[in-house]
Structure 1
Amino acid sequence: MTRPTEADLNALDVTPGEAAEINAIAHPLLADPAPDANDELVQIRSTTDGVVFVTINRPDKRNAFDAPTIAALYEAFETLQGADHVRVVFIRGAGGTFSAGADLGWMRDAAGWSEGDNRTDAMGLAKMLKALHDVPALTVALVEGAAMGGGAGIVAACDMAVAVKGTHFAFSEVKLGLIPATIAPYVVEAVGARTARALFMTADGFDAAAAKEFGLVSHVLGSADEIDGFVTAFADSMKACAPGAVGEAKRLVNDVAGRPIDHGLMEDTARRIAHARVSDEGQEGVRAYLEKRKPRWAE
């Protein structure tokens, strides 16, 4: 496998109307070398009421990632940033494993690249994670089997995550003499700096219950059989929320996190709520509440 180029990162053109399920990433040295990239690496399926499913479709490789797979995910998440009708995006790995880690062949090749080549390659993963983080719709990871290394990083980059009881997690990079660098901003945001230090520096594995305690996942399901029911109920609940307001609420959190509560922030938040009040959604939502009816987006 040759070093991925910028063209690799823009190789796949995936739209929300195309097929699918959800997403992943794996742990180094657990997966066999990958086959050549194809247009089924990442699949997307969308419903008429704005629910999107994104899936890494490499079940025979336990959804291990390589440059073409990362490129496909990047294109999918970039596309979803411009899809105004989307309410919620569910992300999952095909075949019962969220992701077992980086593809072995990709890891072997990277070991022979220069530092500059490795930096270019790593930026592909960094851009993909940022594109996921910036999707305006609510993103939900559906995690089962295992989410190792970068796979757990994708879980952290989502707005929330649901894990099946018995799912295995680990950030094992230091056991290979590596560090979980590109995923670190999202993991630290999800679990906090102290917990991230412990997880990164010990490389200890942990289960779904511990992931919930750490803040990496929001809910733990008893078995994989409960996933479909959760998806249906959760998607139905999101119909009550105005799609545009959901995106603005997400941007609000991203923009105010870590900022000092000073006059500038007060003005910024006042400007945002004033704009929301006079927006089409704001006007419709308040009128619907006063008239004791459902707003248009909930019908």
Structure 2
Amino acid sequence: MSYEMISVTADARGVATLTLDRPEKHNALSGAMCQEIQAAIAELGSDPAIRVVVLTGAGKSFCAGGDLDWMRAQMTATPAERGAEARKLADMLFAINTCPKPVVGRLQGQAFGGGVGMACVCDVAIGVADAKFGLTETRLGLIPATIGPYVLARLGEAMARRVFMSARIFAAEEAAALGILSKAVAPDDLDAAVEAEVAPYLDCAPGAVAAAKALARRLGPPIDDAVIDMSVAALISQWEGDEAPEGVAAFFEKRRPSWAK
């Protein structure tokens, strides 16, 4: 399968690398990109030759969150249209979270919004020590809705509440302390740290790995259609209020929103 916004390669060991490949956009997510990622994950998950998936990005950023054109389109969309677009992100995250192959995140740069969500659906994520992170939605009058179930599952409520609502930017060291990253390493050490996570899986029975991952997911917080529908509905509700239109408009008009002090 060919893709326009991502690339997929695999080595002789069965280690696949899925690369977010819009470096000029800091790998910001659009609905179409989410669908490409979901399709690639489904293909890799069903391929018996693939043992591990490494998820990374091209360029300076791992993922800057939502694409600006995608966000702009939501300003005039109907609730149904907003729900359909939010569902594309939700379905992509669900696909990664339930992929039967282990997914190792290789965060070579910044992660904001949906990028944090993608790190949280990796089974383990390694990031560079100079990267910055943030759940920046509330600055725009929005909420981290569709990524929310995965952020809470990874961090737990107490840790998540430290960064979930404030939109503050935090360093890789704190991302590791919160549980978003398993570790933060120097850029020159990133590939070796990722390989250290990948290599043990190649000595494991692939069916047992898949069954163990499925069991872990069943034992963890439930993230099913009802939870996903709730998160989408919460985002639509926020768009229907006064704050999201004001916050997004202020962003594009390069001014401070009405609530900013």
TM value normalised by structure 2 = 0.81
**Contact 1:43–1:55 under 8 Å retained in 2:** yes
Match status 1:182 vs 2:151: no
Instruction: Tell me which residue corresponds to 2:127.
Output: 163
Q: Which has the higher contact order (CA 8 A, sep 6+)?
A: 2
Query: What are the equivalent positions in structure 2 for 1:1-299 lying under 5 Å apart?
Result: 13-14=1-2, 39-222=3-186, 224-257=187-220
Q: CA deviation at 1:167?
A: 0.8
Q: CA deviation at 1:196?
A: 1.6
Q: CA deviation at 1:97?
A: 1.2
Which letter does structure 2 place at the counterpart of 1:51?
V
Which letter does structure 1 place at the counterpart of 2:132?
H
**Distance between the aligned counterparts of 1:198 and 1:220, measured in 2?**
19
State the secondary structure of the residue aligned to 1:203.
Answer: coil
RMSD: 1.5
Instruction: Tell me which residue corresponds to 1:285.
Output: none
**Contact 1:86–1:243 under 8 Å retained in 2:** no
State the secondary structure of the residue aligned to 1:202.
Answer: coil
Larger Rg: 1
Q: Deviations over 1:97-117 (max 9, x none)?
A: 101121111111111101111
Q: Deviations over 1:64-91 (max 9, x none)?
A: 1112111111111111221223221110
State the secondary structure of the residue aligned to 1:64.
Answer: coil
Q: CA deviation at 1:258?
A: 5.3
Instruction: Tell me which residue corresponds to 1:268.
Output: none
Q: 1:228 to 1:76 in 2, by over 3 A?
A: same
**Contact 1:62–1:97 under 8 Å retained in 2:** yes
Gaps of 5+ in 2: 223-261
**Distance between the aligned counterparts of 1:130 and 1:70, measured in 2?**
11
